[in-house]
C-alpha cells in the first residue's frame, strides 16, 4: 500500500464510509476505490481528488502524500491553477489526444490500445500537464507577486 492509498483508506474509515459509499459519491465502482487503496491505481483524476478532499474535509496534497498538513488551506496559493489554466490544459489535452487519433493506431508491444488504455493515457497526460503548469508557476512567478 502506498501513502496515497493508505490515506484514502484512513480518511474513509474515519468518516465511517464503506468503499461502496465512497465509490457512489465519486461516481465510480467499488473496484476503483479498492485499487486506489491498495496502490494498484495511482493516477486518480483531479476532479475525483477534489471531491474526496471535500468529503474528507482535507486538501488534495494531504491525500496524495505531498503534505502532512491535513487541514484545508485557507486562501489560495499563487501557483494554484486558475480557470484560464484549466481551459489551456483542456485545449492542450484535446490537441494531444487528437494527434494520437491519426490513421495509425496506438499500440503497445504490437497490441492495439483499447479504450481503457486510452483513458489511462489521457488521465496520465492530464496530470502531467497540471503538474508542469503548477511547477512553472512556482518557478517563474516573480517574488513580488507571490502571496
- The reply to whether 32 falls in a domain is yes
Number of domains making up the chain: 2
- Within-domain flag for 74: no
Q: Domain check: are 54 and 92 in the same one?
A: no
Kindly state whether residues 60 and 92 are assigned to the same domain. no
Give the residue-averaged pLDDT of 101-128. 78
CATH number at 49 reads 1.10.260.40
pLDDT tens digits, one per residue of 20-76: 999 999 999 999 999 999 988 888 898 999 999 989 988 888 888 888 877 765 456
Tell me, yes or no, whether 56 and 92 share the same domain: no
DSSP the chain: --HHHHHHHHHHHHTT--HHHHHHHHTS-HHHHHHHHHTS-----HHHHHHHHHHTTS-HHHHHTS-S--SPPSS--TTS--HHHHHHHHHHHHHHHHHHTSSSPPEETTEEP-HHHHHHHHHHHHHHHHHHHHHHHHHHS-GGG--
The residue that leads in pLDDT, 147 or 101, is: 101
C-alpha cell at 138: 512556482
What is residue 71's predicted lDDT score, i.e. its pLDDT? 75
Q: Is 72 a domain residue?
A: no
Q: Quick one: pLDDT band at residue 126, thresholds 50, 70, 90? A: very high
Q: What pTM, to 2 d.p., does this model score?
A: 0.50
* Cα separation, 106 vs 13, whole angstroms: 40
Q: Is the pLDDT of residue 101 over 80?
A: no
| Residues 9 and 49 placed together within one structural domain of the fold | yes
94 and 45 assigned to the same domain: no
Question: Domain containing 45: what range?
Answer: 3-64
Q: Confirm whether 70 is domain-assigned.
A: no
In a domain, 17, yes or no: yes
Amino acid at each position: 500500500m502506498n501513502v496515497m492509498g493508505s490515506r484514502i483508506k484512513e480518511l474513509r474509515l474515519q468518516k465511517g464510509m464503506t468503499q461502496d459509499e465512497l465509490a457512489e459519491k465519486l461516481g465510480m465502482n467499488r473496484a476503483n476505490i479498492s485499487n486506489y487503496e491498495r496502490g494498484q491505481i495511482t493516477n486518480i483524476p483531479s476532479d475525483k481528488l477534489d471531491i474526496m478532499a471535500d468529503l474528507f474535509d482535507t486538501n488534495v496534497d494531504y491525500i496524495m502524500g505531498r503534505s502532512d498538513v491535513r487541514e484545508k488551506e485557507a486562501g489560495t496559493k499563487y501557483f494554484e491553477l486558475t480557470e484560464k489554466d484549466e481551459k489551456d490544459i483542456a485545449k492542450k489535452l484535446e490537441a494531444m489526444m487528437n494527434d494520437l487519433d491519426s490513421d495509425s493506431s496506438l499500440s503497445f508491444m504490437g497490441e492495439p490500445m483499447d479504450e481503457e488504455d486510452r483513458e489511462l493515457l489521457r488521465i496520465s497526460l492530464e496530470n502531467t500537464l497540471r503538474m508542469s503548469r503548477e511547477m512553472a508557476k512556482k518557478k517563474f512567478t516573480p517574488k513580488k507577486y507571490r502571496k
